[in-house]
């Protein structure tokens, strides 16, 4: 009886670990999709409405459902308010670390960091070009991420279960 | 006959009209908060008497930090003290310019494209920031100023009460007299114009002046100090401000839309201004304007102004100078035609209505 319970526990745990690892791929895709939505909001707010960045970030916070992300955008907006001493590039990097590290890849973060270096510094036309450029890169990354997900999600889930089963057999 | 020549200075009147200490402190701090922390700490050490007189703070890349006061310019040393020699002053770095630009634009240069084309923007509090750098052209027009290398903070000062002594001279038979304020640059024209607008907008029961509807065309956001379309300076409860609009179109819009009793605007003197002012007068509306000219004789040398004066569009001509400090009212002349005004200008002594 104890052996059966132990075996179930081990297989269950290892299967769960496999599922968590597989979920990471899904999270990256979701986050990249969210970023593409955010960039679409930036396009409208910056190019069409010519809103200042704090207002753009505040409005973005209103439009996105992810509360953690929304709070991070509100913080970013406050870092750019009149009289704020915070350097925007630094604030942007911190924002990306808070919201993306562990989920996004180094390449994703580099693309978004580059956007932060340009955001707000040029005229509207140029801002639009930079955002579109960033969108194109992230779309490419999203395709890669989706390919990876379709390939690896099943593998990781199966691998989790298989590792558990192997461990149980070895213990028996 | 009433002698209407006055001698006074805006500064002297302002002292009596408002608490100098509070005003200087507030305005200085309003401006200084846009500076990077290092410069802000430095400017916090500037002696109070200099803050009170401060008109401009100028930042130039790799040059000394400059403070312009009513009575002259000086540099700011590393101790925050005004000094005469640039060598003793703190030097502005690229990083400080960059941070200042980021601060005044909220990190959003693109949102201020129009302002960047014109080379200035207005901050909360009505303060103006002018800048120069590398101009990008498109079809022969400036599209953007980038690589900004000079920033000039012009501290807005509302000197309430300075126009009060001259109000009786601008009001006759129940109407505001068409008035032109002339002076050399930086002699207080806009400040006086703003105060006249404010006084007539509030009205003055002691003088029997009811509050009038004033339409203000503020082409360069200088008079009302509007920030995002909202006046930052007190221009009275019955004043409608059209901010950032070209004078001609703005005046016609106000005439059509707002039914004003006075239309006020800054710096007339263009070739076709006489036509616009003529239309204002034909609509039964009084005009209050300013123009660059040291004297009536100089004004008559400028074709645009000459035509305004020749068409009898000016009933009161206020001449300002810096002789006894910014805003010294040299004279207020009365007349309905240029010839009459000119005779009065040439003849020394008092001017008669």
**Is B107 in contact with A124 (Cβ distance < 8 A)?**
no
**Residue B5's pLDDT is what?**
39
- Whether B35 has its CB under 8 Å from any CB of chain A: the answer is no
User: CA-CA distance, B60 to B39, in Å (whole number)?
Assistant: 13
Do the bridges between strand B171-172 and strand B239-243 make them parallel or antiparallel, or are there none, so unpaired?
Answer: unpaired
Cβ of A127 within 8 Å of Cβ of B110? The answer is yes
Instruction: Detail the DSSP E strand segments found in B43-198.
Output: 54-60, 66-69, 72-76, 82-83, 120-122, 128-138, 141-154, 171-172, 175-176, 179-183
Residues in chain B closer than 8 A to A50 (CB atoms) = 110-111, 113
Bridge partners of B75, per DSSP, are B66, B83
Length of chain A: 172
Q: Is A88 in contact with B124 (Cβ distance < 8 A)? A: no
Cβ neighbourhood burial of B200 (10 Å; 0-12, 13-18, 19+): buried
pLDDT confidence bin for B242, thresholds 50/70/90 = very high
- Per-residue pLDDT of chain A (172 residues), as tens digits, is 788 888 888 889 988 888 888 777 788 898 999 999 999 999 999 988 888 899 999 999 998 888 888 999 999 888 877 666 677 888 899 999 988 878 889 999 999 999 988 888 888 888 999 999 999 999 999 999 988 888 877 788 788 888 888 888 888 7
In which band, very low, low, confident or very high, does the pLDDT at B150 lie, cut at 50, 70 and 90?
A: very high
- From the CB of residue A160, how many other CB atoms can be counted at a distance below 10 Å? 22
Put simply, whether B228 touches A (Cβ < 8 Å) is no
- Of the candidates B323, B12, B34, B302, which has an alpha carbon nearest to the alpha carbon of residue B154? B34
Reply yes or no on whether the pLDDT at B21 is more than 80: no
Distance CA A115, CA A127 (A): 9
| Helices marked H in chain B | 10-17, 20-32, 37-43, 48-53, 94-104, 113-118, 189-202, 247-257, 273-282, 296-300, 303-310, 338-346
Q: Which residue among B99, B106, B116 sits closest to A82, beta carbon to beta carbon?
A: B106
Average pLDDT estimate for B104-126: 83
Task: Tell me the chain A residues in contact with residue B146 when contact means C-beta distances shorter than 8 Å.
Answer: 122
B102 touches chain A (CB under 8 A): yes
State the pLDDT confidence band at B341, using cuts at 50, 70 and 90.
Answer: low
Residue whose entry in the numeric block shows the structure tokens 């201020």: B112
pLDDT for B106: 83
Long-range contacts of B199-202 (CB under 8 A, 24+ apart): B199/B163, B199/B164, B199/B167, B199/B236, B200/B167, B200/B170, B200/B176, B200/B236, B200/B262, B201/B235, B201/B236, B201/B237, B201/B238, B201/B239, B202/B236, B202/B237, B202/B238
Cα–Cα dist B345/B296, whole Å = 7
What is the complex's ipTM, to 2 decimals?
0.74
Tokens, residue A110: 């580099």
Q: Does A46 touch chain B (CB under 8 A)?
A: yes
Report the residue of A123, A127, A129 to disrupt the B interface, i.e. the one with the largest count of B CBs within 10 Å: A123
**Interchain pair B110, A123: CB under 8 A:** yes
Cβ contact, residue pair B34, A80, below 8 Å? no
Using DSSP bridges, classify how beta strands B214-218 and B179-183 pair: parallel, antiparallel or unpaired.
unpaired
Question: What is the band of B8 on the pLDDT scale with cuts at 50, 70, 90?
Answer: very low
pLDDT reported for residue B61:
94
Q: Do B351 and B334 form a contact (C-beta atoms < 8 A)?
A: yes
Structure tokens at B12: 């002297």
Phi, psi (deg, nearest 5) at residue B173:
50, 40
pLDDT at B336 exceeding the cut of 60 = no
**0.80 cut: is pTM over it?**
no
The answer to whether the beta carbons of residues B89 and B76 sit under 8 Å apart is yes
The torsion angles phi and psi of B317, rounded to 5 degrees, stand at -120, 115
Query: What are the pLDDT digits (tens) for B82-93?
Result: 999 889 999 999
């Amino acid at each position: 009886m104890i052996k059966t319970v132990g075996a179930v526990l081990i297989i269950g745990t290892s299967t769960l670990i496999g599922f968590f690892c597989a979920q990471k791929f899904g999270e990256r895709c979701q986050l990249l999709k969210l970023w593409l939505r955010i960039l679409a909001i930036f396009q409208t707010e910056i190019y069409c409405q010519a809103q200042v960045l704090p207002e753009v970030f505040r409005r973005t916070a209103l439009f996105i459902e992810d509360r953690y992300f929304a709070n991070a955008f509100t913080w970013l907006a406050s870092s750019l308010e009149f009289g704020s001493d915070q350097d925007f590039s630094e604030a942007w990097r911190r924002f990306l670390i808070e919201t993306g590290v562990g989920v996004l890849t180094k390449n994703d973060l580099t693309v978004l960091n580059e956007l932060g270096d340009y955001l707000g510094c040029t005229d509207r036309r140029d801002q639009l070009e930079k955002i579109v450029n960033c969108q194109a890169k992230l779309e490419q990354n999203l395709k890669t991420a989706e390919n990876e997900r379709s390939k690896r999600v099943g593998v990781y889930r199966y691998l989790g279960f298989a590792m558990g089963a192997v461990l149980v057999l070895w213990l028996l | 006959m009433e002698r209407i020549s006055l001698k006074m200075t805006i500064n002297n009147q302002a002292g009596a009209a408002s608490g100098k200490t509070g005003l200087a402190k507030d305005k200085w701090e309003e401006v200084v908060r846009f500076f990077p922390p290092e410069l802000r700490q430095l400017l916090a050490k500037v002696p109070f008497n200099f803050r009170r007189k401060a008109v401009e703070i100028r930042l130039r890349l790799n040059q000394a930090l400059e403070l312009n006061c009513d009575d002259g310019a000086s540099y700011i040393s590393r101790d925050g003290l005004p000094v005469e020699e640039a060598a003793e002053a703190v030097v502005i770095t690229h990083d400080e310019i960059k941070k200042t630009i980021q601060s005044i634009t909220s990190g959003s240069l693109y949102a201020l494209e129009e302002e960047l084309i014109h080379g200035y923007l207005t901050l909360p509090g009505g303060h103006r920031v002018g800048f120069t750098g590398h101009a990008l052209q498109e079809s022969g027009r400036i599209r953007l100023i980038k690589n900004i290398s000079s920033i000039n903070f012009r501290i807005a000062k509302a000197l309430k009460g300075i126009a009060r002594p001259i109000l009786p001279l601008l009001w006759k038979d129940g109407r505001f007299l068409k008035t032109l304020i002339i002076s050399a640059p930086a002699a207080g024209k806009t400040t006086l114009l703003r105060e006249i607008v404010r006084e007539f907008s509030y009205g003055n029961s002691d003088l029997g002046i009811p509050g009038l509807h004033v339409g203000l065309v503020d082409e360069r956001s200088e008079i009302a100090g509007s920030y995002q379309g909202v006046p930052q300076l007190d221009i009275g409860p019955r004043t409608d401000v059209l901010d950032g609009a070209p004078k001609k179109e703005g005046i016609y819009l106000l005439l059509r839309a707002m039914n004003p009793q006075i239309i006020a605007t800054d710096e007339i003197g263009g070739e076709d201004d006489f036509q616009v002012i003529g239309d204002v007068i034909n609509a039964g509306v009084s005009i209050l304007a300013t123009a660059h000219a040291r004297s009536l004789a100089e004004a008559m040398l400028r074709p645009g102004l000459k035509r305004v004066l020749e068409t009898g569009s000016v009933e009161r001509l206020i001449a300002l100078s810096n002789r006894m400090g910014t805003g010294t009212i040299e004279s207020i002349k009365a007349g309905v035609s240029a010839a009459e005004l000119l005779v009065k200008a040439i003849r020394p002594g008092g001017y008669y209505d």
